[in-house]
Amino acid sequence: MKKFKLLPVLAMATMFLFVACDDDLLDVTESFTFETEFVVFSGEPSFTDNRVVDLAQDQSLINQYGSKIKRIELESVRYWLKAHEGTETQQLESLTLNVANADGTDSKNIIQLDNLVLAALLNNPTDLPLNSTGVNKLETLAAEPPHQFLYLLEATANEVPLDFTIVFEVTAKMTANPLN
């Protein structure tokens, strides 16, 4: 008879334990990487280009967790040239990469660089110093549906013609709760 009285008490204690548990115990955290390329071919020293990045379409991890994503944190951003046709002295006097809503509104700077010798970047992945305002914007847009954002690239070079492909690689950590 004592067993039957103890069983409901244990069941209630177990239930309170599960209710009191932090939701974070069920979180899933995974890292992922995505790349965006800009092909530059211009006879002018200044250029601009943009790319819409759709992580839900491009990343199965983002598509899988969708609205259950709690946050995305950038771990690193690297850049390099995968192609370059130009002189050894050709450089970008300035380069900015902004991130904005997919429609181009509310642009925030993520990267600002000066005096980049293009030949030195060929097949040479390099970590980037990041602007926290742009990082926060990118993390928010990547975490929230529809998981899309716009990259806006602007640069000015010292020599023309410009003929190169620049790659930006982002490594990020996604945290989601599959039960939310």
Domain containing residue 165: CATH number: 2.60.120
The verdict on residue 115 lying in a domain is: yes
The verdict on residue 42 lying in a domain is: yes
Check residue 20 and give its pLDDT: 45
The verdict on residue 68 lying in a domain is: yes
- What's the distance, Cα to Cα, between the start and end of the chain in Å? 40
Phi, psi of 17, deg, nearest 5 = -60, -45
d(CA 158, CA 57): 37
Check residue 31 and give its pLDDT: 96
The verdict on residue 41 lying in a domain is: yes
pTM of the model: 0.85
The verdict on residue 39 lying in a domain is: yes
Check residue 54 and give its pLDDT: 97
The residue segments making up the domain with residue 129 are 26-176
Check residue 67 and give its pLDDT: 92
Query: What rounded mean pLDDT belongs to the chain?
Result: 90
Structural domains of the chain, count: 1
- Check the CA dihedral 73-77-82-83 and report its sign: positive
Check residue 5 and give its pLDDT: 65
Check residue 131 and give its pLDDT: 86
Residue 142 has pLDDT above 70, yes or no: yes
The verdict on residue 8 lying in a domain is: no
d(CA 78, CA 168): 6
